[in-house]
Amino acid sequence: LVPELQKVCQNVQFQEIRDEALKALSGLTKALGDSYKVSEDKTAEDAMEAEKKRVDDEQERLRAEKAAAEAKQKEIEEKEAQERAKFKEAMDAQRELDKIEAQKAAEKKREEEAKKEKAKLSTKGMSGKCQGCGLKKCKKTCMFYRN
């Protein structure tokens, strides 16, 4: 049974199955080692002790690998979170700039419309000349003439 569990531990790709096989192998070698302690056979007891030590070392190595992978994954996730935060901040700033620019454009458009409306209602143009006759002082024949 021990050789079969050793093969499973070495050849299985799925970590969960391998971990369970290592736990079973550890328990089995401990139990077998304890049963050999009762008898006088030192070589079998030593073999079981060596196998148990090897299994424990393998489990510890796998735990260390898993912890290192988790630490690396956590570091990557933190970097991604920081990048997302920076990107969000940049997008918010860009939206704010676009909003300010749109407000300025709307204000400029309102000012231009107000100037045009004022020019429509006034008898004098932007240069100060009459819109009817084109002179600074209208003649009596001009429709905008005032006394």
At 38-86, the pLDDT tens digits run 455 567 667 777 777 887 888 888 889 889 999 999 999 999 999 999 9
**Is the full-model pTM beyond 0.85?**
no
Average of per-residue pLDDT across 5-24: 70
Separation CA 12–CA 25 (nearest Å): 14
- Residue 115: the pLDDT is 86
DSSP annotation string for 52-70: HHHHHHHHHHHHHHHHHHH
Q: Calculate the average pLDDT of the chain.
A: 81
At 81-109, the pLDDT tens digits run 999 999 999 999 999 999 999 999 999 99
